[in-house]
Amino acid sequence: DVKVTQSSRYLVKRTGEKVFLECVQDMDHENMFWYRQDPGLGLRLIYFSYDVKMKEKGDIPEGYSVSREKKERFSLILESASTNQTSMYLCASSLWASRQAPYEQYFGPGTRLTVT
């Protein structure tokens, strides 16, 4: 089974702190994603990566950056946390997708981040 793990289930940080969220997958997937989930808004893509050191902005990249130095690991960084970044953060991975053969995404358990 694919396993996607995230470094913390719950995290409380202060405004202005630098926050690192780590995600690791064990199935050699090429694609990795970071989403945030807020009630009534579904999942919104922050960044994704289709290869080591490659990254693409999603729909809401402002205030976030990412790092992918190894294939199995994808980090989300909040350079200066703000209260409006309080949310559930979900990491996902998938095999490389083509338009003809897209693959499903496998999710980690999520990190509930509270910024006070």
Partner 1 sequence: GQQVMQIPQYQHVQEGEDFTTYCNSSTTLSNIQWYKQRPGGHPVFLIQLVKSGEVKKQKRLTFQFGEAKKNSSLHITATQTTDVGTYFCAGHRVSNYQLIWGAGTKLIIKP
Q: Which positions lie near partner 1, rule CB under 8 A?
A: 31, 40-45, 48, 50, 58-59, 90, 97, 99, 102, 104-110
Which residue type is seen at 12?
V
Shortest gap between Cβ of 63 and partner 1 (angstroms)?
17
Shortest gap between Cβ of 16 and partner 1 (angstroms)?
29
Among candidates 31, 45, 3, 52, which has minimal Cα distance to 98? 31
> Residues 6 or more apart from 65 whose CB is under 8 A from it?
47, 76, 77, 79
Q: Indicate the residue among 40 and 53 with the shorter CB distance to partner 1.
A: 40
Q: Indicate the residue among 79 and 104 with the shorter CB distance to partner 1.
A: 104
Shortest gap between Cβ of 23 and partner 1 (angstroms)?
12
Q: Indicate the residue among 17 and 95 with the shorter CB distance to partner 1.
A: 95
